[in-house]
Amino acid sequence: MRPCIDNALDSRWLWITARILLAVVFLSSGLAKLIDFQGGLAEMRAAGLEPDWLFNIATIVVLLGGSVLLLLDRALWLGAGALALFLLLTIAVVHRFWALPEPQAKEAMFWALEHTTVVGGLIAAAIASRLRRRLGGGHERAHRFTRSGAGLRRVAGRLQLGRGRRRRLAGHQGGAGHGRACRGAARLPWRRRVGSGQASRAGLGNRRAHHPHRLRVRAGGQAG
């Protein structure tokens, strides 16, 4: 049961439904004032707001603009803040239950309490939108990091494979070079080979002159 509830609360469709339900009252009021413009003007005059056309247009813009931001979840904090401010101003200007006579004060108080509740819902929607964006961004960054980590591992594997190939190629080239050197020495003329042999014997004589003790030790070891 708990996983089902968690999945429902995390679902995108429930979040869309909540935004639609929250925006219905503002969207319907804004469309009503736009369609029945004269009725909107009459409401502004009844509230003592002049010029009535300017306040009616401002109310339509706030109601429809805030509703669109709520529905699209784009700068929801701005739409929620504008609608919340509109509701609080409505309480202060229209539903002044503290300054009305008793029959009207009770009804105005109910309207004020309803507006206050909707303000709380708007604040909660702004907080939820911010948290969902942060969590969604975190999941996306983790996914990109995982993908980049896998990519880095693949690149490192390719680099190691390339190093192994280069080492094998270098070893192959070194062996081939050694074989070519041996074959080249075998192709040398007899006199050059003799000369190189004499040079090597001369070098051995020089080593005997400089290090006779080491040569005697080596000779004794070989004889043993």
Residue 33 and residue 52 in contact, taking contact as beta carbons nearer than 8 Å: no
Residue 79 and residue 69 in contact, taking contact as beta carbons nearer than 8 Å: yes
Closest CA to 119 of 92, 154, 147: 92
Residue 211: inside a domain, yes or no? no
Residue 120: inside a domain, yes or no? yes
Residue 176: inside a domain, yes or no? no
Count of the separate structural domains present in the chain: 1
Residue 223: inside a domain, yes or no? no
For residues 172-191, average pLDDT? 53
pLDDT at residue number 64: 96
Closest CA to 80 of 118, 50, 54: 118
For residues 173-181, average pLDDT? 55
Residue 173: inside a domain, yes or no? no
Q: Per residue in 65-123, pLDDT tens?
A: 999 999 999 999 999 999 999 999 999 998 888 888 888 899 999 999 999 999 999 99
Half-sphere exposure in the Cβ direction for 147 (13 Å, CA): 6
Residue 181: inside a domain, yes or no? no
Provide DSSP, 9-37: HH-HHHHHHHHHHHHHHHHHHHHHHHHSH
For residues 194-201, average pLDDT? 49
Instruction: State the residue range of the domain holding 100.
Output: 2-142
Residue 193: inside a domain, yes or no? no
pTM, entire model: 0.60
Residue 192: inside a domain, yes or no? no
pLDDT at residue number 3: 81
d(CA 183, CA 189): 12
Q: Give me 156's structure tokens.
A: 């490192």
Residue 34 and residue 67 in contact, taking contact as beta carbons nearer than 8 Å: no
